[in-house]
Structure 1
Amino acid sequence: MSTSHAAPASPIAQKVAGRVAWAKEKARRARDQRLGVHARLAALEAEVQENRHLNRRITELTDVVGELLVPLHARDEERVAEVLAAYRRSI
């Protein structure tokens, strides 16, 4: 069963979507090939690790957005530029 979704707008969203698709495909292959409990466990562990990574990235992005909201509201363009520059260096 395949569902059609609009393409993600940002490169980060595209990367996340690609990683999620990769994890789902890996889990599907493990199920389809009936490789046994150990292979399925390894696939699930890989998915859990990927979810941890994605949750960490979401937290980082949420922090950046939070840091931007106050300077944007105060019209502090210099602080906005600093926050964005620090974020871009971290990517």
Structure 2
Amino acid sequence: MTKLTAQELRDMLNIKIPERLAKISKEQATARTKIISAISDRPKTIPEISEEIKMPVEKVTWNIMTLYRYGVVEPVEKTDEGYYRYRVRK
């Protein structure tokens, strides 16, 4: 049996992804890429990441928790202010 990519399967079944959903998915992927890039040089707290990439703390928090859930990032230390510093999991 031949394995199809997701795009090939959608084309074969004539399935269209709603533009709004595609836009949200692309924005989330871009946000995660920026976050991973921001913490690739050294661990940072969510407020530090937010300030560096000019993204609201709420969005950074949501994305960090998603990346943590899927094993992409990990907390490495807790600061005196009570924030965790996150790094890309090795």
The structure with the greater share of residues assigned to strand is 2
> Does 1 or 2 have the higher relative contact order (CA < 8 Å, sep 6+)?
2
TM-score with structure 2 setting the length: 0.36
The structure with the greater share of residues assigned to helix is 1
Higher Cα radius of gyration: 1
